[in-house]
Chains A and B, each alone.
Chain A
Amino acid sequence: MRGMSIIVRTSSRIMIPLILILGANIIFHGHLTPGGGFQGGTIVAAALTLYALAYGVSLNLRNIERVEGIKSLGLALIGLVALAGALNALIRGFGSFMQNRGVFPLGIPGWIFSAGTLLPFSVGEGLNVAMGFMAVIFVYVMLMEFEVKEEAKR
């Protein structure tokens, strides 16, 4: 898909870093302030969508693989952190899958590196949701290009 005019590109160049910082802030403070992985992930996806629409996006296999790879990384992070609880149950005899009891340190409440598993869960969910919505945007762009091609054929 081709990009948009220079007005859209210039203003989105200003807005995209701000939106990305807001999304990262909400993701990384998921255990401290309202919000979390899903909410911050949608905001990051909004910034990436603005980038894709303003500057154009090429729908080759490499970009799709990149999106799917980051998405899988998020789910793998969640799965590994959840499996740490199961490993703890095997070794020490208490706890269970996804349970953080003596696995990750709780830390001081209110600090960024606190609350044990909640921070990696938020980050993984944020990656998963942001890239998931990017995949949806890719599907929409594909449909749009398909319609344009069909119109050109007629």
Chain B
Amino acid sequence: MAAVLFLAIVTLAFAVIFTLSFPSFGSGRSLAIGYYLPRALEDTGALNVVTTIVWDYRGYDTLGETTVFFAAAIGALLLFRRREHR
């Protein structure tokens, strides 16, 4: 119990420290902004940079997410269809 409490406090402390080390909201000091914003239009021809990141730069992530959603919906229907037939 004491170990769990200790781990929780350490994790919380790390979370607070790393959150404070982030650039403040709207300051524009993020490194990712400097990478994506100048290149997005030239690379993909899309005006919406969020879609560019979601479906192009990090496309594998979104592909996996879509597949998980697909499998979850099919699984839910399969589970309850059997119950309906009983």
Interface on A for B, CB 8 Å cutoff?
A: 30-34, 36, 59, 64, 68, 71-72, 75, 78, 82, 98-100, 106-110, 114-118, 121-122, 124-125, 128-129, 131-133, 135-136, 138-139, 142-143, 146
Contact = CB atoms under 8 A, between A and B. Distances in A.
Interface string B41-64: 100111110111011100110110
Contact of B41 (A68, A78, A109, A131): A109
A33 B77 contact: no
A61 B50 CA distance: 38
A139 B80 CA distance: 7
Contacts of B63: 78, 82, 98
B50 A136 contact: no
Chain B residues touching A, majority SS: helix
B44 A110 contact: no
A110 B47 contact: yes
A142 B84 contact: yes
Given A36-B50, A64-B77, A129 B69 contact: yes
A147 B73 CA distance: 21
B77 A139 contact: yes
A42 to B, nearest CB: 11
Chain B contact patch, size range: 20 to 34
A131 B72 CA distance: 12
Contact of A75 (B48, B51, B52, B67): B67
A44 to B, nearest CB: 15
Given A75-B67, A128-B69, A132-B73, A115 B81 contact: no
A135 B77 contact: yes
B31 interface: no
A128 B73 CA distance: 10
A140 to B, nearest CB: 10
Given A30-B51, A106-B44, A117 B56 contact: yes
A107 B45 contact: yes
27 contacts: A31-B44, A64-B77, A68-B77, A72-B70, A82-B59, A98-B63, A99-B59, A100-B44, A109-B47, A115-B45, A115-B46, A118-B44, A118-B51, A118-B55, A121-B62, A128-B66, A128-B70, A129-B69, A132-B69, A132-B72, A135-B76, A135-B77, A136-B76, A139-B80, A142-B80, A142-B83, A143-B80
